Amino acid sequence: MAQTYENTDEILAARRAYNDTLAQAHDARRATWFPLLIVALLMLVPALQFVGNYNYVIHLMLYTLMYVTMAAGWNILGGYTGYISLGHSVFFAVGGYFAGMIFARLGISTIIMAPVAGLVCAALGYLIGLITLRVRGPSFIISSLALVMIFRILFEKWQFIGGAAGLSLPINDLSVQWAKLPYYYAFLAMAVFGVWASYRVRHSKFGLGLRAISKDEVKAESAGIDTRRYKVLAFAMSAFLFGAAGAVWGEYLTYVRPNIFIHILYFSVWPALMCILGGKGTIAGPVVGAVLIVAFNEFFVATLGSSTIHILVTGMIMALTLMFFPLGLVGTLAKHRRLPRILNWD
Amino acid sequence: MSDLIQILILGLALGGVYALMGAGLSLVFGVMRIVNLAHPSLIMLGAYVAYWAFRLYGIDPLIILPVAMVILAATGVILYKLVFEREARSAKYSEMTVLLTFAFAMVFEGALATAFTNTQRVTSPAYATDAIFIADIFIPLGQLYAGIVSLVLIAGLALWLKYTRFGYAIRATTQNREAAELLGVNVNFVGLVSFAIGLALAGAAGALVSFVFSFYPSKHWEWIAILMSLVVLGGMGSILGTVVAAYTLSVVAAYVGFFFGATWSTLTFFVALFVVLLVRPQGLFGEKPELA
């Protein structure tokens, strides 16, 4: 039905109204209660300690939540913007070292310092992004790999922060039963923040700009998007989440060591793999991917236990996912309109 | 003074090996736009071929080198047929293949480490520990041979690309895939052949590496970063650029190692990479201002 409008304001108003109805229809379909329910359940998990020793369960949950934080962070850069980074373990390590040094010297808990460590990493990410984001595609991926190598050498050589031996951190004085709880809630908070942040980014003009960059950067730029600032900011945001996660992980492990924190497989490749397996650019994807990979890893180590086969199988999963489900689990299901309503968090 | 010449010579000899390692990578990228992160892990496979041939049958790595090339070329054909041929049609191709080859690098590393463990290995033919002296400068024979063989292979590749019909086809495909296809070049076959040749060079590099460096499966990470720096530095897809970058950086790295210590010498490659990204993102010999 054709309708005539007097001026551009009316057209814009009509378009906005139409968009609002679409958004409302989408909101009505969204099962917001489901993620909230999960968070509520996760908050209750430590209560298990009253009835027995579930430290292993809590450790596993905490570990998964840490990966959810990182995968959600990686998603902002790799999923929305399309810049694949295999060097984010650098920020994990920088966050770990920054908060670890402060904890060791001044005794301020890393949980309190995590946001600050995140900001430090964001600033570092901003600076690095200014250099590495000048190139796209393969060159960017290569520069991110080189970043890992540079920081690994620097950390191992810098005696002020312990060199190759790393830092030892004091153990907290809680009883064994409750020792994990502060870290558990810290990681839960971070994971919720990470997923919430990636949701907010996706539904903002900024996120729209990022997704435009991933579709076609030249066109995005000619449409008036300040692509350079956008992608550097996306880089900084993802670095923030990695830094915050690394900070608390250091205190939880009670040590920070270069070869563990800059581990390219565990802290660069895994978050990327989780995001890709779950579905790049979706909100639920990184969460699903993190749960799947951690569960698989735990099962695998428990049954076979060998770290070399482990690398082999991680590589195989990654290769098969990329070849047959490049959109990831959530992305593929959504494409075929088979995505369960509870997993549609977009 | 003789120290400085000494280091120059050692740097050049290593540069030859890096140049050979990088040349195959650059060829594959030029023709197929694949950044083959699995290349270093396949060099590792070549090194193991040479190692076991020497260890079990006492065959010299330089003699087994053609065999390693054939084995790797065959691996290349299989990989191409199974994976890259079908991937060539997808959008976001070059980014996807980086991740995909990264995954394969992990698969090969895991397979090699499972089969042969992460023990450090080195092939030790007599010349690997021998050296010749010119005045007071000593030249390790192993590195000298490796440098010479690399040069011969790279020169052979360059001549083949320059003077044969198939070489024309490869260069045409590198310059403009669509135009080459329009002119009747079978780009798929060209891709297959250059992938196989690229990996054959990896096999040759592996056989040479087996007596120049000690190696173990997870060492390929070090090579990935170094080789990738060379390729980006030289300009993606420019074989000449890669070779020049390899020689220059190896010499610089050798001097850095001499003056500041061995760990810093590896850093040379990565710092150079960042400087180039900052100053000249397309690399030394690259033409495109942006690498999509």
Q: Cα–Cα distance between B204 and B220 in angstroms, integer?
A: 16
Q: Cα–Cα distance between B179 and B194 in angstroms, integer?
A: 18
Q: Where are the domains of chain A?
A: 55-343
Q: Give B151-161 pLDDT, tens digit per residue.
A: 999 999 999 98
The pLDDT score that the predictor gives to residue A247 is 93
Contacts for B247 with CB less than 8 Å, ≥ 6 apart: B12, B15, B16, B19
Average pLDDT rounded to a whole number, residues B151-176: 89
Q: Do B232 and A142 touch (CB under 8 A)?
A: yes
Give me the total of CB pairs closer than 8 Å, taking one residue from chain A and one from chain B.
Answer: 142
Structural contact between residues B218 and B118, judged by C-beta atoms closer than 8 angstroms: yes
Burial code (b: 16+ CB inside 10 Å, e: under 16) for B244-274 equals bbbbbbbbbbbbbbbeeeeeebbbbbbbbbb
- Touching check for A316 and chain B: CB below 8 Å? yes
Structural contact between residues B202 and B26, judged by C-beta atoms closer than 8 angstroms: no
Q: Do A132 and B94 touch (CB under 8 A)?
A: no
Q: Do A319 and B263 touch (CB under 8 A)?
A: no
The pLDDT score that the predictor gives to residue B92 is 64
Structural contact between residues B282 and B289, judged by C-beta atoms closer than 8 angstroms: yes
Q: Cα–Cα distance between B76 and B245 in angstroms, integer?
A: 25
CA of A326 to nearest chain B CA: how many angstroms apart?
8
> Is B136 a residue whose pLDDT tops 80?
no
Q: Dihedral angle at the C-alpha atoms of A98, A99, A105, A108, nearest 10 degrees?
A: 150
Determine the 3-state secondary structure of B53 from DSSP.
helix
Instruction: Centre a 10 Å sphere on the Cβ of residue A16 and count the other Cβ atoms it contains.
Output: 10
Chain B residues in contact with A272 (beta carbon < 8 A): 99
Q: Do B110 and A310 touch (CB under 8 A)?
A: yes
> Which has more pLDDT, B194 or A5?
B194
Q: Dihedral angle at the C-alpha atoms of A223, A226, A227, A232, nearest 10 degrees?
A: -160
What token pair was written down for B210? 């087996």
Q: Cα–Cα distance between A321 and A315 in angstroms, integer?
A: 10
pLDDT tier, B125 (very low <50, low <70, confident <90, very high otherwise): confident
Residue B35 carries which side chain, given as an amino acid letter?
Answer: V
> Which has more pLDDT, A10 or A246?
A246
> Is B229 a residue whose pLDDT tops 60?
yes
Distances in Å between the Cα of B23 and the Cα atoms of A28, A313, B108 are 57, 30, 21
Q: Do B83 and A323 touch (CB under 8 A)?
A: yes
For B106, the closest chain A residue by CA position comes to A315
Residue of A139, A157, A310 best to disrupt the B interface, most CBs of B under 10 A: A139
Structural contact between residues A82 and A209, judged by C-beta atoms closer than 8 angstroms: no
The pLDDT score that the predictor gives to residue A271 is 92
Chain mean position to CA B26? 8
Average pLDDT rounded to a whole number, residues A215-222: 89
Q: Cα–Cα distance between B120 and B264 in angstroms, integer?
A: 22
What token pair was written down for A163? 């060199």
Structural contact between residues A250 and A98, judged by C-beta atoms closer than 8 angstroms: no
The pLDDT score that the predictor gives to residue A99 is 93
Q: Give A57-100 pLDDT, tens digit per residue.
A: 899 999 999 999 999 999 999 989 989 898 999 999 999 999 99
Residue in this structure with the two tokens 């002296």, named with its chain if needed: B133
Q: Do B94 and A141 touch (CB under 8 A)?
A: no
**Tell me, what's the ipTM?**
0.82
What token pair was written down for B250? 């190896």
Q: Give A317-344 pLDDT, tens digit per residue.
A: 888 888 888 888 888 888 888 888 777 7
Distances in Å between the Cα of A156 and the Cα atoms of A152, A217, B60 are 6, 38, 38
Q: What percent of chain A has pLDDT over 70?
A: 98
The vertex-B77 CA angle with B71 and B78, nearest 5°, equals: 90
For A216, the closest chain B residue by CA position comes to B292
Structural contact between residues B241 and B233, judged by C-beta atoms closer than 8 angstroms: yes
Q: Cα–Cα distance between B292 and B284 in angstroms, integer?
A: 17
> Is B287 a residue whose pLDDT tops 70?
no
Q: Do B291 and A82 touch (CB under 8 A)?
A: no
What token pair was written down for A23? 């958004």
Q: Give B15-42 pLDDT, tens digit per residue.
A: 888 999 999 988 888 888 888 889 999 9
Q: Give B60-97 pLDDT, tens digit per residue.
A: 888 899 999 999 999 999 998 888 877 666 656 667 78
The pLDDT score that the predictor gives to residue B126 is 77
Mean pLDDT of chain A: 88
The pLDDT score that the predictor gives to residue A3 is 67
Q: Cα–Cα distance between B195 and B198 in angstroms, integer?
A: 5
CA of B224 to nearest chain A CA: how many angstroms apart?
8
Q: Cα–Cα distance between A247 and A109 in angstroms, integer?
A: 10
Average pLDDT rounded to a whole number, residues B273-278: 81
The pLDDT score that the predictor gives to residue B99 is 83
User: Do you know the residue count of chain A?
Assistant: 346
Q: Phi/psi class of residue A290: alpha, beta or left (left: φ > 0; alpha: ψ in -120 to 50)?
A: alpha
Average pLDDT rounded to a whole number, residues A265-286: 89
Q: Do A319 and B107 touch (CB under 8 A)?
A: yes
Give the residue among B206, B196, B205, B218 at the shortest CA–CA distance from B44. B206
Q: Cα–Cα distance between A21 and B26 in angstroms, integer?
A: 52
Q: Cα–Cα distance between B41 and A312 in angstroms, integer?
A: 12
Q: Cα–Cα distance between A241 and A190 in angstroms, integer?
A: 8
Q: What percent of chain A has pLDDT over 90?
A: 36
Q: Give A138-170 pLDDT, tens digit per residue.
A: 788 888 888 888 898 889 888 888 888 888 888
> Is A287 a residue whose pLDDT tops 90?
yes
Pairing of strands A167-168, A255-256: antiparallel
CA of A247 to nearest chain B CA: how many angstroms apart?
26
